[in-house]
Structure 1
Amino acid sequence: MKQHANAWTTVVDCIHGKKGIIYLQLWHMGHLAHSSHHPSTYQIVLASAIAAEGIQVKTIKQENAKPKVPHILTVEEIKSTVQGCVDEAPLEKEAGFYAIEVGHCFLMISTLQFHIHQTLKSKVFIPSASHICSFRLPMDISLTSSCKASLTSTRMSMVAALKNERASYFETFAYVAKKMHEYELAFLHIMDGLGIGAHNKGKYVKCANIHKVFDGPIISNICLSKEIAKGMIRSGACDAFAFGRLYI
């Protein structure tokens, strides 16, 4: 939204004043939003009608509320959601951001998890990586055209356990990374660590695995210590690392 771009300008200008660079991370709250934030439909959305468990969500009045059952996105609604994000992407330049990163959170990650993807289950019998990525890849690829591949990146969490979800398939994320290599994205931001998430639901995907199919820079994140981060750099598993939670 234009209002969001205007609001971010103050923060971005301060960072530029310190000769810093800032990326816009693009999110979609999915089923962890509250319907009051969507007054035109009063619906939250997901690839399945699965309410978040064990948490409270915030209403538009900043009050705690029980998560609601989301509306299941149709194939056409998935396409519309992707296009909406692509249409809004140019606003990051207006706000002064250097480039854009597609976040891993919530709706973004849930569409890569076939076990909760009722939209796909209604369309295909055997899940394949290309089918599972039918939401995420078009968004990343479209943004490379809108914002240039060299100014577009993506963040992936292979261990995301979004309240009642579980880690996804190794092959799916390897497929996404390979496609991102083909489109020459600026970098991949990989959630690789044991601090949070699900680690007992399938083959664990590490930065080193992703580097086999993606030649560009890889940033690692999730509860890293200084020693572990430096070791990952030395081993060639990743090229940089992030310590986000310490600053939040």
Structure 2
Amino acid sequence: MTRDASILFSPFQLGDLVLNNRLVMAPLTRNRATKGTDAPNDLNARYYRQRASAGLIISEATQISQQGQGYIWTPGIYTEAQVAGWTKVTDAVHSAGGRIFIQLWHVGRVSHVSLQPGGAKPVAPSAIAANTKTYIESGFAETSEPRALSLEEIPGIIADYVKAAENAKRAGFDGVEIHGANGYLIDQFLKDGTNQRTDRYGQSIENRARFALEVTDAILTVWDKSRVGIRLSPVSPANNAIDNKPAATFGYLATQLSARKLAYIHVIEGATGGPRDNVPFDFLGLRKAFAGAYIANNDYTRDLAIDTLQKGQADLIAFGKLFIANPDLVERLRKNAPLNTPKQESFYGGGAEGYTDYPALDELKVP
């Protein structure tokens, strides 16, 4: 098959939205929300506006409540100040002709007592420590020991998702993505390595998927199904969340999500930020189990993205670190131009340096 780059830059109908191209800016935690309020600010608006040529931007993960926060200076969507801050962002993106969904996030056990209301323990399906690190004001630190959620608490968390979804609509987002990946709360419920409950949220696949589906159904009372997607990571060991039978677990979930006619599933293929082949998994089978759009993610190059689209193995391709370093990534890939190198030391926290100061092609005088 002759590689035809034009497919990467062709329009795509996502639900009732027409995207200008097949490139998606993946959610990227940058820890630059306003200190003290966790509200987005003018610098954040500039950052997203710079990248508005993406067919779709998915915002950085955004906590639905203080309890849902796992890292310092990440934005929320549960206060009026945060809604106002995100409105600046969506206005900036729309003024540049872009589309943006918000990623709704509850970290579950991947948190620290210093970030939790009243210094409480983080919550999780089961009281199993994450054995990973989070980012607090003093730097990286071990996550705190969690406690298991009671049955009586779960409806309150679902209500927090609903309120966040309503706030996202008020803030002008084009849609929402449910964060069901990378070892955070929904993923913790899904995977048998992190969920040892014996009630209706545990043991069987149907029970472990219940929380994800209840959150989805609740958000669908606020947003039309054509404006809702979900991110999944079937075989990623991120934040020490493992499932012993991922094909069965995520095959069932994909079928259930398909029945709800969500706009898309956004799938991390392999280990988050790591090898794509860490565990054998039939991602094409997952795509076939879901009737909506399939966004493929993880270490995609220009050539791999084109090949994957041409073979019909995905509808859209998400890029993460390349969008950090290349605000004009769409144009660079269109021209097959050189790419800026991401500066990892400025990924988390800080100001404009390593955030909004990456040069675009026209600033480099590259034809």
TM-score normalized by the length of structure 1: 0.88
Offset at residue 26 of structure 1 (A): 0.7
Give the structure 1 partner of residue 240 of structure 2: 164
Offset at residue 68 of structure 1 (A): 1.1
Q: Distance in 2 between matches of 1:170 and 1:190?
A: 13
Offset at residue 193 of structure 1 (A): 4.2
Mapped contact 2:269–2:276 kept (Cα < 8 A): no
Alignment of 1:1-248 (within 5 A): 1=78, 2-40=80-118, 42-55=120-133, 57-59=134-136, 61-103=137-179, 104-105=181-182, 106-118=184-196, 120=197, 122-123=198-199, 127-167=203-243, 169-193=246-270, 195-196=273-274, 203-206=280-283, 208-248=284-324
Offset at residue 142 of structure 1 (A): 1.5
Q: Deviations over 1:209-232 (max 9, x none)?
A: 122221211110011111222121
Give 5+ residue unaligned stretches, structure 1.
Answer: none
Structure 1 residues 178 and 54 mapped into 2: Cα distance closer, same or farther (>3 Å)?
closer
Please identify, of 134-143 and 192-201, the stretch whose mean Cα deviation from structure 2 is larger. Answer: 192-201
For the residue of structure 1 that corresponds to 2:238, the secondary structure is coil
The one-letter amino acid of 2:306's match is K
The one-letter amino acid of 1:113's match is K
- Identity across matched positions, percent: 28
Q: Distance in 2 between matches of 1:153 and 1:127?
A: 26
Q: Deviations over 1:137-195 (max 9, x none)?
A: 11012211221111111111112212333245211111111111111111111112465
Offset at residue 54 of structure 1 (A): 4.5
Mapped contact 1:167–1:199 kept (Cα < 8 A): no
Mapped contact 1:32–1:52 kept (Cα < 8 A): yes
The structure that is helix-richer by fraction is: 1
Q: Distance in 1 between matches of 2:102 and 2:276?
A: 27
The one-letter amino acid of 2:105's match is W
Structure 1 residues 68 and 6 mapped into 2: Cα distance closer, same or farther (>3 Å)?
same
Q: Distance in 2 between matches of 1:159 and 1:235?
A: 23
Q: Distance in 1 between matches of 2:140 and 2:193?
A: 29
Please identify, of 133-142 and 65-74, the stretch whose mean Cα deviation from structure 2 is larger. Answer: 65-74
Give aligned pairs, total. Answer: 242
Mapped contact 1:167–1:198 kept (Cα < 8 A): no
Q: Distance in 1 between matches of 2:117 and 2:93?
A: 34
Offset at residue 136 of structure 1 (A): 0.7
Offset at residue 21 of structure 1 (A): 0.5
For the residue of structure 2 that corresponds to 1:7, the secondary structure is helix
Please identify, of 80-89 and 174-183, the stretch whose mean Cα deviation from structure 2 is larger. Answer: 80-89
Q: Distance in 1 between matches of 2:249 and 2:147?
A: 24
The one-letter amino acid of 2:114's match is S
Mapped contact 1:161–1:197 kept (Cα < 8 A): no
Q: Distance in 1 between matches of 2:156 and 2:167?
A: 18
Offset at residue 63 of structure 1 (A): 4.2
RMSD: 2.3
Give 5+ residue unaligned stretches, structure 2.
Answer: 1-77, 325-367
Mapped contact 1:5–1:92 kept (Cα < 8 A): yes
